[in-house]
Chain A
Amino acid sequence: MISTQLENSLSRSRIEALAQARHEPAWMLSRRLEAREAAHELELPSSRYTQVRGLNLAELQPVGLDLEATSADAVGAKRALPLCDSQDQTDGLLIHLNGRLVHSELQAELAHQGVLFMDFAAALAEHPELIERYLLRESPELSDKITALQRALTGGGVLLYVPPNVEVQRPLKAINLLTEENIGLFQQVLIIAEPGSRVSYVEELGSLDRQLETASAYAGDTRVYVGQAARVDVAGVQNWAPQIFNFSRRQGRLERDGRLRWTFGWLGGRLTLSQVESRFEGPGTQVEDVQIFFADGRQHFDLVSNLIHSQPHTQGKVTVKGVLKDKAKAVFWGRIRIDPEAQQANSFQSERSLMLNEGPRSVAIPSLEIEANDVRCTHAASSSQLDQEQIFYLMTRGLNENQAKKAIVDGFFEPTVRQIPLASAQEQIRALVDRKWQNLPAEV
């Protein structure tokens, strides 16, 4: 066996030692070890349109496994905090810098009501039964090497727990910063919204404007449990440095009358593979999934949205909108499954992309699997070029060509951005689109 960073970290003894040092429950260790076995056998994720190239997996140093506080944490917090300081009002904030928790706050009243919003590693030591009850419930299959590594080498992450009928008014925000080369950030996010509760969770992934020479990887697994009649918003903005490989897997499970809204803005990174799976496990459940991407250079986004209707009277709506430039590539897999019992399901997905030049490629692959006979299920996909007549029209009002194109791009995103339930996430996506646009040369 070649001894590499990753192999060392994956050794049985290393994993046992870290589980012990982190005071993890026994089931967590077996979970890690099981995934470790699988990691050796599974391949990197790939599809007809997407391959992972240019990531030297063997040399990645997994981070966030060592829990000892270091002086670097305080330095990191000092550096990270002002940059993360968002104008929006939050009820809680967690900041991880290269896998280490460097800042944590939660409104006192919420803590008093029993809301938990904390680093996943600490949560494992403090609330093992709670985590066990949800995390082990029908875990998603380990489908590839990355998902196995994420499970075997889980470092930090987030636990968010909202007790029954507690309504969290303002968003809880988790900021995840990756600023080093050759590291592997493997995270677990677990969100549990008990019946009748309400919460918004916003995740920001970024690199503080660091440009990396060599690749790093982020792999995150997010599990969301929406209890009966609970309402949950999960928003994520990915703005990694260009050398980062992003692997995100998210699963939401809803009980009767629960509502879940996913919102994602994909802007950074080199390659992004994202899977969002929504499982309608109770009647009357509703899911909305809004995703926006802006790809340039040789960026590649491979986005999967999966709606699984297993109960009657469920509603799903997926909206994906993206702008592509240069040689960028986007693949959208929209899957809808409607089980025989899921009568009166209403499921809709649409994917629209706008090309700024001739180079990019955008592919949409819908797949509908419908076994019930009284359902509505539709999909739409389109890809268009910038309209020269629109550009001319705007220019006759005094906007230069670049401004006119930007106005059209903004306009393309705007109706979808307005659908985003969190005002702060709306503003952030607008601002990031602006910034990304400004980095582009004048003539697009």
Chain B
Amino acid sequence: MTGELAIKNLHVQIEGKEIIRGLDLYVKQGEIHAIMGPNGSGKSTLALTLMGHPKYQVTQGTISYKGQDLLALSPDERARAGLFLAFQYPFEVSGVPLSRFLLQAVKARAPETKAQSNGRPVRRPLGQFRKLLHEKMEILKVDKSFAGRYLNEGFSGGEKKRVEVLQMLVLQPEIAILDETDSGLDIDSVKIVAQGVNSLRGPEFGALVITHYQRILNYLKPDFVHVMVKGRLVKSGGSELAEELEERGYDWILQEVGAASTESAEEKGADPDERS
């Protein structure tokens, strides 16, 4: 069965302030969706809410994956259900070596992967894990010495982003959310990271890529591009939409959907497909 991450009429608050205001989105395994949009439109809030960050409060709507209510699950249960988030600002965890941590994460996820029995290895002995890790490090051109370094501690911004993708490649999620993974990366790094993501592409891998730039999308070739404004998806299309945004910016969309920010347009804003 192809899994579908289904987000319906999502409303999210932080400290009493509504950030996401009626958002619908469906991401199936095998599909790549891009979300673009001006700063402050709620993209990171969406990413963190999908993983269950305790500060974000869902006041309305539902999030489910494979029919399972994700809102009832803790972040680790969501991870084990197949979700992954590459953080925009990964946290440093001092004293926790990357490889030891990843091995623990792989083990923590193992029982669920067994249940799915997608032909993936269920439990990897240590040697196999090391081999997998080194393989993935090679794809992302991450130096092997990083395996023994403490998680994100003293990493440059670019190294942190690559290591986020490295974690994704090792953990092999079904649905990955990449929150501005390309921000702050040089041209070569964007390409490497995109290659990493592409290495997972296939019928079992879906992704939600949050970005400000078309560049990474040139490599990822998303199936769908959505524009998020003020907590809603206001426009959706194919790759060509990203190109248009790169050329023309967001102003024209803001004008086009200017009414969307008023109360009367709330219902219409919830269905971006009709708009485009």
Which residues of A pack against B, CB within 8 Å?
A: 387-390, 392-401, 403-404, 407-408, 410-415
**Interface pair B108/A400, CB less than 8 Å apart:** yes
Which listed residue, B76, B95, B96, B102, touches A396 by the CB 8 Å rule?
B76
Among A394, A398, A407, A413, chain B packs the most CB atoms within 10 A around the CB of: A398
Q: Which residues of A contact B85 (CB under 8 A)?
A: 396
Contacts of B75-110 to chain A: CB distance below 8 A: 75-76, 78-80, 84-85, 87, 90-91, 93-97, 101-102, 104-105, 108-109
- Give Cα distance in the complex from A444 to B95, angstroms: 20
Given contacts A393-B90, A396-B75, contact A415 B108 (CB under 8 A): no
- Which B residue sits closest to A411, measured CB to CB? B95
**Interface pair A395/B74, CB less than 8 Å apart:** yes
- Give Cα distance in the complex from A399 to B77, angstroms: 9
Q: How far is the CB of A405 from chain B (nearest CB, A)?
A: 11
**Interface pair A396/B91, CB less than 8 Å apart:** no
Given contacts A388-B54, A399-B104, contact A393 B79 (CB under 8 A): no
**Interface pair A398/B79, CB less than 8 Å apart:** yes
**Interface pair B95/A399, CB less than 8 Å apart:** no
**Interface pair A392/B109, CB less than 8 Å apart:** no
**Interface pair B171/A398, CB less than 8 Å apart:** yes
Q: Which residues of A contact B76 (CB under 8 A)?
A: 395-401, 403-404
Indicate whether B219 reaches chain A with its CB closer than 8 angstroms. Answer: no
**Interface pair B96/A407, CB less than 8 Å apart:** yes
**Interface pair A396/B79, CB less than 8 Å apart:** yes
Q: Which residues of A contact B75 (CB under 8 A)?
A: 392, 395-396
Indicate whether B197 reaches chain A with its CB closer than 8 angstroms. Answer: no
Q: Which residues of A contact B78 (CB under 8 A)?
A: 396
Indicate whether B51 reaches chain A with its CB closer than 8 angstroms. Answer: yes
Indicate whether B53 reaches chain A with its CB closer than 8 angstroms. Answer: yes
Q: How far is the CB of A175 from chain B (nearest CB, A)?
A: 29
Q: How far is the CB of A356 from chain B (nearest CB, A)?
A: 16
Q: How far is the CB of A407 from chain B (nearest CB, A)?
A: 5
Contacts A407-B96, A415-B94 known; 19 new A-B pairs at CB < 8 A: A387-B91, A390-B93, A392-B51, A396-B52, A396-B76, A396-B84, A396-B87, A397-B171, A399-B104, A401-B74, A401-B76, A404-B76, A407-B104, A408-B93, A410-B95, A411-B94, A411-B95, A411-B150, A415-B150
- Give Cα distance in the complex from A51 to B124, angstroms: 52
- Give Cα distance in the complex from A385 to B120, angstroms: 39
**Interface pair B171/A411, CB less than 8 Å apart:** no
Which listed residue, A397, A403, A414, touches B167 by the CB 8 Å rule?
A397
Q: How far is the CB of B106 from chain A (nearest CB, A)?
A: 8
**Interface pair A403/B104, CB less than 8 Å apart:** yes
- Give Cα distance in the complex from A415 to B94, angstroms: 8
* 6 A-B pairs with the lowest CB-CB distances in the bound complex, closest first: A411-B95, A414-B95, A395-B75, A411-B96, A398-B108, A397-B105
Q: How far is the CB of A202 from chain B (nearest CB, A)?
A: 23
Q: How far is the CB of A39 from chain B (nearest CB, A)?
A: 44
Binary CB contact string for chain B from 15 to 29 against chain A (1 if under 8 A, 0 otherwise): 000000000000000
Q: How far is the CB of A306 from chain B (nearest CB, A)?
A: 28
- Give Cα distance in the complex from A390 to B52, angstroms: 14
Q: How far is the CB of A411 from chain B (nearest CB, A)?
A: 3
- 24 A-B pairs whose Cβ atoms sit less than 8 Å apart in the complex: A392-B54, A393-B91, A394-B101, A395-B79, A396-B51, A396-B52, A396-B76, A397-B79, A397-B167, A397-B171, A398-B79, A400-B74, A400-B76, A401-B76, A403-B108, A407-B104, A410-B96, A411-B93, A411-B96, A411-B150, A411-B151, A414-B95, A414-B150, A415-B95
- Give Cα distance in the complex from A387 to B109, angstroms: 23
Q: How far is the CB of A434 from chain B (nearest CB, A)?
A: 13
Q: Which residues of A contact B97 (CB under 8 A)?
A: 414
Q: How far is the CB of A109 from chain B (nearest CB, A)?
A: 36
**Interface pair A389/B91, CB less than 8 Å apart:** yes
Contacts of B165-185 to chain A: CB distance below 8 A: 167, 171
- Which B residue sits closest to A394, measured CB to CB? B93
**Interface pair A392/B94, CB less than 8 Å apart:** no
Q: How far is the CB of A215 from chain B (nearest CB, A)?
A: 35
Q: Which residues of B contact A401 (CB under 8 A)?
A: 74, 76
